[in-house]
A and B are shown apart, each in its own frame.
Chain A
Amino acid sequence: MKPPPFLHAAPETLPGALELLAEHGDAARILAGGQSLMPLLVMRMARPALLLDINRCAGLSGITRHDGETRIGAMTRQIAVQRAPETPALLARALGWAGPRAVRNRGTLGGSMAHADPSAEAPAAALCLDAVMVLESRRGQRLVPAAEFFLDALVTAIAPDEMLLEIRIPPGHPRHAFAETGVRQADLAMAAIATDLALDRQGRISAIRIAAIGAANRPVRLPLAEQALLGQSPTPATLRDAARAGLAGAEPPSDLIASAAHRVAVLEGLLADAVLEACAA
C-alpha cells in the first residue's frame, strides 16, 4: 500500500507549524503519531495536499503539574502518559486499553483526542475528568472543555487553522474505575464506563462523575446516573436503578459488533461494575 502524493513539512517550532496551518487550512492535515492517520492515508480515505508533521516541533510534549492540575502536551506518547507518576490514575488505566504496545509507543494523547474515535478510551477519561483542551492558532489561544470538544464521531471543536496544544486535567476525586467490553479483550471498545468518585465517612457517594463509550456516537457523560447515585450507598438495587436512569434516553450506535439494545444492556452492567469497583478500591 502507498499513500497518495503529498507535500511533507516538519516544522521545528510551534509558530512555524501554526503559520503553515493558517496558510493551508483544510488542505493540511496534522501528522502526530500516525497510528490513525497513516492507515487513512494508505487506504486513500484522506488525501491532504500538505502533511504537517509535528513530530519535530519543540515544546509539544511533556507532563507537568500546576496547583494540582495536570498538563499534558499533545505530542506526549501514550506510553509515556500511561507511565508518568503525574498522570491521573483513571487516564493511565484507560490508556492501558488503547491498543497494542507498539501503537502506544508512537500514538500521542493529543492525536487520540483530535481523532475522536467514538470507541477511543482516552476521550472518555478526559470527559469524565472534566479535562480542558488548549487550542492554538495564529488568531490566539482558546480553552475548550471536553464536554464541548467531542461533537460527533471523528468530529471535534478544532478549527482548520487550529492545533491541539495541551490537555489540562483538574484534580479529581480519590477513587476511580474503568470497565470495558469488546469482541476480544484487545479490540476496540464496544462499550465502556469511566468513573471517578468520592465517598463520605458513612460510605455514601458524595461526588461522582460517569462517562460512557458506546452510548452515543461520541463519549458522553451520564448525568442522570450521577444524580441518582449522589448520597447513596452503592447497593445492587441503587446501582441498577441509576444505570437504568442514566441510559434511559441513550441512542447508541447499532453495527456489526452489537445492536443498540445490546450496548445499553452491557453498559448497565459495566456501570454497576465500575462504580462498585471504585467504591471498593
Chain B
Amino acid sequence: MTDTQITLTVNGQRHSRRVPTRMLLSDFLRHELRLTGTHIGCGHGVCGACTIEIDGATVRSCLMLAVQAEGAAITTVEGLAGEALHPVQQAFHEHHALQCGYCTPGFLAATIELLRENPDPSEAEIREALHGNLCRCTGYVNIVHAVKRAAELMRA
C-alpha cells in the first residue's frame, strides 16, 4: 500500500525513512533500524516484551504504527546503558532477574517508569506496576528483588 515518510529520534539519533503505513512500530525498530533489543513475544498487546518509552511514557510498540511515531523521541533498551549499565540493568544482573532474557527489555522500561514516579516502591506497588509484563522463566521473585535493589541504587 502507500508509503509515508517519517522522521523520529531513537536513543538520541535522528532517523528519516519511508515506511508502509501498515508497518508496526515494533517491526520498524527491529527490521528498519536493526534495533533488535525490542522483542516481540505475542505481537498483539498481551505480553509487554515490546514495551519501549515514547515521549517519556511506556507504550507497547506492537500496538502502534510506525507512522504514528512521526516526530517522537523513543528510548529502547539499546539506549539505556552508557559507559556502565543503567542502574536497573545492573540490579537485574546482580539479582538474576532474567534467565532467557526475552522479557527483560519490557521489564526494564516498566521499572524505569515506576522508579521515576515512585523512588521507593513497596513490593505490592512493584507487582502492580509490572503486572502487564509476562516472564515465563524467572517466577518473578528475583525481578521484584531486583527492582527493590534498583530503587536503592538510584536513590544513592
Give chain A's interface residues, CB within 8 Å of chain B: 1-8, 10, 34-35, 38-39, 42-43, 51, 53, 55, 79, 99-103, 105-106, 185-186
Contact = CB atoms under 8 A, between A and B. Distances in A.
Interface in B1-41: 1-2, 4, 21-22, 24, 27
B131 A100 contact: yes
B4 A8 contact: yes
B43 A42 contact: yes
Contact of A102 (B1, B4, B60, B68): B60
Interface string B38-51: 00000111001001
B22 A35 contact: no
16 contacts: A1-B44, A3-B24, A5-B1, A7-B1, A8-B65, A8-B67, A34-B64, A39-B44, A43-B44, A99-B132, A100-B133, A101-B132, A102-B60, A103-B60, A105-B58, A106-B60
Contact of B58 (A2, A5, A34, A102): A102
B129 A101 contact: yes
Given A42-B43, A102-B109, 20 more contacts: A1-B62, A2-B24, A2-B27, A6-B22, A7-B1, A10-B68, A42-B44, A55-B68, A100-B133, A101-B58, A102-B57, A102-B59, A102-B60, A102-B132, A103-B45, A103-B60, A103-B132, A106-B59, A106-B60, A106-B63
B65 to A, nearest CB: 7
Given A2-B24, A186-B132, A101 B113 contact: yes
A189 B131 CA distance: 15
B132 A1 contact: no
B132 A39 contact: no
Contacts, number: 84
Contacts of A2: 22, 24, 27
Contacts of B63: 34-35, 38-39, 106
B110 interface: yes
A4 B60 contact: no
Contacts of B21: 6-8, 51
Contact of A38 (B4, B44, B67, B109): B44
Q: Counting chain A CB atoms within 10 Å of each CB, which of B4, B59, B114 scores highest?
A: B59
Contacts of A35: 45, 60, 63
Contacts of B60: 35, 102-103, 106
Contacts of A100: 48, 131-133
Interface string B74-114: 00000000000000000000000000000000000110011
A204 B115 CA distance: 44
Q: Counting chain B CB atoms within 10 Å of each CB, which of A34, A51, A99 scores highest?
A: A34
Nearest to B58: A102
Contacts of B109: 102
Contacts of B65: 8, 34, 53
Contacts of A51: 21
B47 to A, nearest CB: 10
A186 B62 CA distance: 20
A1 B46 CA distance: 13
Contacts of B2: 7-8
Nearest to A33: B63
Nearest to A106: B59
Nearest to B56: A105
A156 B59 CA distance: 27
A216 to B, nearest CB: 26
Contacts of A42: 24, 43-44, 62
Nearest to A43: B44
A4 B59 contact: no
A186 to B, nearest CB: 4
Contacts of B45: 35, 38-39, 103
Contacts of B44: 1, 38-39, 42-43
